[in-house]
Structure 1
Amino acid sequence: MLRSFKQYVLVPALALAATATTLVVTTAPADAAVVSVRVSGTLAARSGAANWFAQTRQIKNKQKVTVTCKVTGQYLRGKVRRTAQWDRTAIGDFISHAYVSGNPKLPTCVIAPPAPAPAPTTAAPVAPPAAAVPMGPTGTMTNAQFLAASIPAAQQSQRDTRVPTSVTLAQAILESGWGRSSLSANDRNFFGMKCFNNAPGAYASGCKSYSTQECTAAGLCGTTVATFRTYATAAASFTDHGMALKNLSRYAAAFNYVNDPNQFVAEVHKGGYATDPLYTTKLVALMQKYNLYQYDLAL
């Protein structure tokens, strides 16, 4: 596991959601919905499913907006709900579902494969397409963006495995250095998951050697080289992490404390997840500093 950890200042992700906007939805024919906006201000539509994407327009008070499908994007706390769902409008931009009253059953957006590149011409260059919606954390995000992008995957892991979302988020932050370690930025391994006998397991796509810090039982730490799993997507890394905790017998004791994240972390540490003697202390400090407990689901 990666042992190094740097302190960073986190701008709370929920602060990005500050607005007085509320949307009201009525069902429309086919698989779309007509959204009637009831606002005390205005609602920003964006080119992607997160507040760090460019604003495309402002939706005025009581203006109707047609939405056609949904995507997973930045987790926001709105006036109506807390959700990572964003609704794609008929003109192709996105609005946060956290401000939509009612809950129409929208289909998931199907992203078409990119068209083949055209042959070179002397014509003027065409503007590049809008940025794709991030489907999980990357190595180029701010701390606030990294946290917001990690919440949906961590909460899905809790639904699938009962690992508290707060624990998954704290481990992702600590093990990856907010996504900026080479292992996470290059190979989407956010939890320091290792390969054993050069076998990547069911969710990883391969193995690669990296330098890492390991500690002895006496607390003496040093640099060594270990083989770590590589992933095709960030989601696969989160899934692999949760399933490993759920299925490996050495972590079984932790699941007696699914409603006590601090003790859950202590049991995972005892089970051998990390050799750092301060591992539990560091994770609990992260959960407390950034109130990661607020993202835990009541299952």
Structure 2
Amino acid sequence: MLRSFKKYVFAPVLALAATATTLVVAAAPADAAVVSVRVKGSLAARTGAANWFGKTRTIKNKQKVTVTCRVSGQYLRGNVRRTAQWDRTLVGDYISHAYVSGNPKLPVCAPPAPAPVVAAPVAAVPMGPTGTMTNEQFLAAAIAPAQQSQRDTKVPASVTLAQAILESGWGRSSLSANDNNFFGMKCFNNAPGSYAAGCKSYSTQECTAQGACTTTVATFRTYRGSVDSFRDHGANLKSLSRYAAAFNYTNNPNQFIAEVHKAGYATDPQYTTKVVNLMAKYNLYQYDLNV
């Protein structure tokens, strides 16, 4: 389980220049420390502070490594300790501090400069996404309503964007293309809520905790426009008490969606992993606001 995940660890961090035998790295800063790892076999260094990030290399047991600073990431139980700290190496990749012998006082890693965001022309996309867009157009159209939802409810825009992509299949599902429902929001007792215009039945997949899925029919909300779907999604998460724990992690999108999933948002046991993978693959964290 993640603990207090900082946004900056998701930006591309690997800075390797290699020949067949040599890594070219910058000189070690004054705060750097030489440590060794304690692991059975070998330890994977990764591009970010969690095991789902790409592996850059393997470090053998007792091998010396120069580490320069620390970040918060995935909580692990290692051969040395239990911790959410990850250490950035002089090369620029990350190793879990749970496997590091010794405990040097490393400074917190400075976040990299934010990637520039090129805004699409206002006239290039309509207000909110539709079911007839390319993936690039869908994302460009979804950014504004996702960020407005974050201003209104504090739901991270990265979470909203990734859920919209996953739930609607980039806007191409029947539910989103025909009825502007981009989050699979259901009607309960045939009540559409404050933002939806009505309810309609659709076939859907429901899964058990063990991953066994069956097809069933459920009643879903329909909207006059896609922006109403985004507003309803944020308001639903904010207003329902079962999602309250997620709002302890509004600056930690990965843990936020994990808490939402745990509270019953989706029955797919891989839901958190799928959403996090989308946030990382498309760097959706860059659209989060400081609110």
| Alignment TM class, shorter chain as reference | 0.5 to 0.7
State the distance in 2 between where 1:84 and 1:243 align: 27
Q: Within the alignment, does 1:150 sit opposite 2:142 as a pair? A: yes
Counterpart position of 1:233 = 225
Counterpart position of 1:216 = 208
Please list the CA deviations of residues 175-201 of structure 1 after superposition, one character each: whole Å capped at 9, or x if unmatched. Answer: 000000000000000000000000000
Counterpart position of 2:182 = 190
Offset at residue 222 of structure 1 (A): 1.1
One-letter amino acid of the structure 2 residue matched with residue 261 of structure 1: P
8 Å contact from structure 2 (residues 115, 286) kept in 1: no
Counterpart position of 2:192 = 200
Root-mean-square deviation (CA), in Å?
2.0
Please list the CA deviations of residues 259-298 of structure 1 after superposition, one character each: whole Å capped at 9, or x if unmatched. Answer: 0000000000001000000000000000000000000001
8 Å contact from structure 1 (residues 84, 152) kept in 2: no
State the distance in 1 between where 2:158 and 2:120 align: 16
Counterpart position of 1:170 = 162
8 Å contact from structure 1 (residues 179, 190) kept in 2: yes
State the distance in 1 between where 2:247 and 2:289 align: 15
Counterpart position of 1:295 = 287
Instruction: Trace 1:42-81 onto structure 2 (pairs within 5 A).
Output: none
Q: Could you list the runs of 4 or more consecutive aligned residues of structure 1 that deviate by over 2 angstroms after TM superposition?
A: 81-86
Counterpart position of 1:51 = none
State the distance in 2 between where 1:177 and 1:82 align: 24
Offset at residue 78 of structure 1 (A): 11
One-letter amino acid of the structure 2 residue matched with residue 216 of structure 1: T
Q: Within the alignment, does 1:264 sit opposite 2:251 as a pair? A: no
Offset at residue 220 of structure 1 (A): 1.0
8 Å contact from structure 2 (residues 187, 220) kept in 1: yes
State the distance in 2 between where 1:223 and 1:78 align: 42
One-letter amino acid of the structure 1 residue matched with residue 215 of structure 2: T
Counterpart position of 1:125 = none
With structure 1 as the length reference, what TM-score do the two structures score? 0.57
8 Å contact from structure 1 (residues 166, 287) kept in 2: yes
Offset at residue 218 of structure 1 (A): 2.8
With structure 2 as the length reference, what TM-score do the two structures score? 0.59
One-letter amino acid of the structure 1 residue matched with residue 236 of structure 2: A
8 Å contact from structure 1 (residues 209, 225) kept in 2: yes
Query: What secondary structure does 2:184 align onto?
Result: coil
CA distance 1:84–1:298, change in 2 (3 Å): farther
Q: Which runs of 5+ in 1 are unaligned?
A: 1-76, 87-93, 97-132
Query: What secondary structure does 1:204 align onto?
Result: coil
Number of aligned positions between the proteins: 178
Q: Which runs of 5+ in 2 are unaligned?
A: 1-113
Offset at residue 139 of structure 1 (A): 0.4
